[in-house]
A and B are shown apart, each in its own frame.
Chain A
Amino acid sequence: AQKITQTQPGMFVQEKEAVTLDCTYDTSDPSYGLFWYKQPSSGEMIFLIYQGSYDQQNATEGRYSLNFQKARKSANLVISASQLGDSAMYFCAIGGSARQLTFGSGTQLTVLP
């Protein structure tokens, strides 16, 4: 069984500042993947970033980076230079050998002008 825990129901950040969204996970699979998705108020699921459990380096995609600490079972998302358009719900998810995704409960991020 896999589990994702997101302990921040809501976060606020000032425009142009960086913000870290927390995610911890639990899994018995030796090989797994960690995902972050953005869900704006329009409802679609937008893929942001992926980290494989055997990847040596932390993943980066533009302003998004994933701070992967395997020993601590954490996979925090860092958004640099926040923009008003970053206001959305953010979900962390884990995929195991069967590739089904297990999602956390999400963090609502609000970027303040």
Chain B
Amino acid sequence: NAGVTQTPKFQVLKTGQSMTLQCAQDMNHNSMYWYRQDPGMGLRLIYYSASEGTTDKGEVPNGYNVSRLNKREFSLRLESAAPSQTSVYFCASSELGTTNYGYTFGSGTRLTVV
């Protein structure tokens, strides 16, 4: 099925461990995003990539790094995980000029840091 694929779906990390969340889209979208959702809250933007080769910080970038590997893939890395990074992470993609921005979300990664 066309869309945004995130891996893994669930992950438990110990404080200080590192990991990379993977995201791939097959809709040929130029823009990709990483959001986090804490309990009882809306999504907040971590980083985004307006086009291949560019990345920019969002509202809550501290503790994260990103890589736009190619047009399809946008990864999010936690170098030294902290309990405050326990959250659900959503990747999304969009395309300029499309109705409703063509926004498509992945199914999310539930991350717990203990």
CB within 8 Å of B: which residues of A? 4, 33, 35, 43-45, 47, 50, 91, 93, 95, 98-106
Contacts and interface: CB of A to CB of B under 8 A. Distances in A.
A60 to B, nearest CB: 14
Contact of B108 (A44, A98, A106): A44
B31 interface: yes
B103 A35 contact: yes
Interface size class of B (residues with CB under 8 A): 20 to 34
Contacts, number: 56
A105 B107 contact: no
Contacts of A33: 100-101
Nearest to B95: A99
A33 B108 CA distance: 23
Nearest to A44: B107
B111 interface: no
